[in-house]
Amino acid sequence: MTPGTARGAGVGYGAGIGLAVHVPPAPVAPEHEAAEDIETATARIHDAFDQVARALTDRAAHATGPLAETLAAAATMAADPALTDQTVRQAGAGFGPATAVTRAVESFATTFQEAGGYLAERVTDLVSVRDRVVALLLGQDEPGMPALIGRSVIIAADLAPADTAALDLDLIAGIVTAAGGPTSHTAIIARQLGIPCVVGAAAALQLPAGARILVDAASGTVVADPDEERVALALRRARRLAEVAEDDRPAATSDGHRIQLLANIGTPEDALRAASTAVDGVGLFRTEMLYLDRAAAPSSAEQVGVYRQVLDAFDGRKVVLRTLDAGADKPLTFATADGEANPALGLRGYRTARRHPELLEDQLAAIAEAATDHPSPVWVMAPMISTAGEAAEFAARARSHGITTVGAMVEVPSAALLADELLAPLDFLSLGTNDLTQYVMAADRLSTDLADLTDRWQPAVLRLVAATVRAGKTAGKPVGVCGESAADPLMALVLTGLGISSLSMSAPSVGGVRYALRAHDLRACRRMAEAALAAPDAAAARSAAAALLDETVRETLHV
């Protein structure tokens, strides 16, 4: 690697150039912070956590999509009495308030990391809460994004959702983080916002502040003081992709094989933005956004109103709603079980109905009411279905409310292996490839050390996808993908070759996928799929598929 260059995982295919702005380190409790009397310390600690929770809640209310979801989850952490109580106990043991917060968060973070999976993903949010509370207790400015005065490239060890919420999109040319992977929260939010981003680029922390920085997501590189030829190439490719994104023809291969390209959304605001683009509808409506950061579940009337807004936005186009996906990284104060040893493998997703069936029944009734006499086809699916019995139970529940098109998420290996049995009572399946990869490989998708295991090209994952599709073909029922794999144009070709009928992704990713599809016929897609399935590892699988890629597409998308 040449001096002044850092390499990581690119998010999307865009490019941007701006001046390097480093996010300053978080405040640190003094080494020998004086203890305070317990009454004073308790009052200050509670007040600081309350202020942070309110601020994060307000930011969540003004955000959309995955950003709003993660901000709301961070606000829930700040409002969690268990964290506050642990901090007060540390203060009672003789530690100063800021030190008490730090020790309490360290304890929770260790537990989260050991639990792995979804809880491990929340450590960044937990640390963000710590930093804001410590800053308040020390009388310092809130940590996070510095003021920007021109087109800037943000460089940070990591970014919490609250940091991303403060971004001035008119001044952000790119984002670079030393930590994280392609499915980290920073990556997902950057993709949603259309910001060129490179994650896992540790060497970028050494790039000088104020230097002219090129962020090239297509190549996964971050370059300080790049030559003009390199800048021109990257920006030309980005402009070409912007032109590609304007293509609003139906998505299909060059020989006319039709593929539905759908949007992932979380709020009515997301729906309005996505509906204005050339998508065939919604492949994943994360309805849990309506439930987060509440003391009680939303009323039936409120749910009906929100669901109706989304259906109205897509007037006549398909909308797939996922029922409440709570637990693990998305705890609900009124439903999530306390004290689970491993929440990522606990009462999350559809399993929430084991303790709180009323939440599911009320939601299904609200969806059915919103869908009554509406022109948009309404499909409903449950997350974390693991057995044929659960599939049959969910189908019966949904149909009892008058919902006619019922499906399930395939996120765990058992669901893929039993896909034929799951489909018997269902109408469709949708593969959540982020979770499926994580569970198949037993590897935290945010771990930089395990990035090779959580690669979407892992043969074990591809073979489970293929098995699920075969079950769908046998049953004559559609199987789609709504994980981040769908947003990768090369992977989209492989998935099409495997027989996937729909691909759902963030709306800004649709253009590149449509472009790649139109440049290849179905036979070429099938050859790519066969080559990837026969490969011995993830790198070889990707290389085998890329070797069959059209040269013009390769140059445009920098595959």
Q: Where residue 441 sits, what CATH number does that domain have?
A: 3.20.20.60
Q: Is there a domain that residue 33 lies in?
A: no
Q: Is the pLDDT of residue 64 over 80?
A: no
pTM, to two decimals: 0.69
Which is nearest to 294 in space by CA: 73, 95, 523? 73
Confidence of residue 83 (pLDDT cuts 50, 70, 90): very high
Active-site annotation holds for 525: no
Question: Who contacts 322 (Cβ-Cβ below 8 Å, separation ≥6)?
Answer: 284, 285, 286, 287, 288, 380, 381, 382, 383, 409
**Tens digits of per-residue pLDDT, 438-450?**
899 998 776 768 8
Residues 373-381, mean pLDDT to the nearest whole number: 96
What CATH number does residue 220 fall under? 3.50.30.10
DSSP state of 252: B
The verdict on 318 and 215 lying in the same domain is no
The verdict on 228 and 287 lying in the same domain is no
User: Which tokens hold the place of 414?
Assistant: 């058992």
Catalytic pick among 185, 356, 520, 558:
185
Q: Is the pLDDT of residue 309 over 80?
A: yes
Q: Is the pLDDT of residue 471 over 90?
A: yes
Distances (CA, A) of 475 to 138, 423, 425, 430, 462: 62, 7, 11, 15, 20
Q: Is there a domain that residue 29 lies in?
A: no
Longest Cα separation, the chain: 76
Q: Rounded mean pLDDT of the chain?
A: 89
Instruction: State how far the Cα of 382 lies from the Cα of 77, in Å rounded to an integer.
Output: 25
What CATH number does residue 75 fall under? 1.10.274.10
**Tens digits of per-residue pLDDT, 139-160?**
887 777 787 889 999 999 888 7
**Tens digits of per-residue pLDDT, 449-462?**
888 898 899 999 99
Residue 1: the pLDDT is: 46
Q: Is there a domain that residue 481 lies in?
A: yes
% residues pLDDT > 90 (the chain): 59
The verdict on 133 and 159 lying in the same domain is no
User: Which tokens hold the place of 364?
Assistant: 């299904």
Q: Is there a domain that residue 32 lies in?
A: no
From 90, 109, 138, the end of a domain falls on 138
**Tens digits of per-residue pLDDT, 195-204?**
899 999 999 9
Is 414 or 434 the better-scoring residue by pLDDT? 414
**Tens digits of per-residue pLDDT, 337-358?**
666 777 778 888 899 999 999 9
Residue 214: the pLDDT is: 96
Q: Is there a domain that residue 51 lies in?
A: yes
Q: Is there a domain that residue 164 lies in?
A: yes
% residues pLDDT > 70 (the chain): 92
Instruction: State how far the Cα of 178 lies from the Cα of 304, in Å rounded to an integer.
Output: 42
The verdict on 235 and 212 lying in the same domain is yes
Q: Is the pLDDT of residue 379 over 70?
A: yes
The verdict on 254 and 381 lying in the same domain is yes
Instruction: State how far the Cα of 205 lies from the Cα of 190, in Å rounded to an integer.
Output: 19
From 242, 274, 307, the end of a domain falls on 242
Confidence of residue 166 (pLDDT cuts 50, 70, 90): low
The verdict on 257 and 237 lying in the same domain is no
Residue 88: the pLDDT is: 94
Residues 515-533, mean pLDDT to the nearest whole number: 97
Q: Is the pLDDT of residue 326 over 80?
A: no
Q: How many domains does the chain have?
A: 3
The verdict on 345 and 463 lying in the same domain is yes
Query: For residue 67, what are the domain limits?
Result: 38-138
Is 433 or 558 the better-scoring residue by pLDDT? 433
Q: For residue 379, which phi and psi values (nearest 5 degrees)?
A: -110, 140
Q: Angle, to 10 degrees, between the axis of helix 97-115 and the axis of helix 81-92?
A: 130
Q: Is there a domain that residue 31 lies in?
A: no
Residue 302: the pLDDT is: 94
Residue 434: the pLDDT is: 87
Instruction: State how far the Cα of 382 lies from the Cα of 325, in Å rounded to an integer.
Output: 8
Question: Who contacts 305 (Cβ-Cβ below 8 Å, separation ≥6)?
Answer: none
**Tens digits of per-residue pLDDT, 101-144?**
999 999 888 877 666 555 666 777 888 899 989 999 998 877 77
Is 452 or 47 the better-scoring residue by pLDDT? 47
Residues 374-382, mean pLDDT to the nearest whole number: 97
The verdict on 291 and 196 lying in the same domain is no
The verdict on 405 and 482 lying in the same domain is yes
Which is nearest to 531 in space by CA: 456, 437, 457? 457
The verdict on 412 and 547 lying in the same domain is yes
The verdict on 359 and 499 lying in the same domain is yes
Is 70 or 100 the better-scoring residue by pLDDT? 100
For the beta sheet containing 221-224, the strands, ordered from the edge strand earlier in sequence to the opposite edge, are: 5-7, 221-224, 212-216, 15-22, 152-156, 172-177, 197-199, 9-11
Residues 43-69, mean pLDDT to the nearest whole number: 85
The verdict on 238 and 266 lying in the same domain is no
Residue 249: the pLDDT is: 87
Catalytic pick among 197, 356, 482, 525:
482
Confidence of residue 165 (pLDDT cuts 50, 70, 90): low
From 138, 157, 190, the end of a domain falls on 138
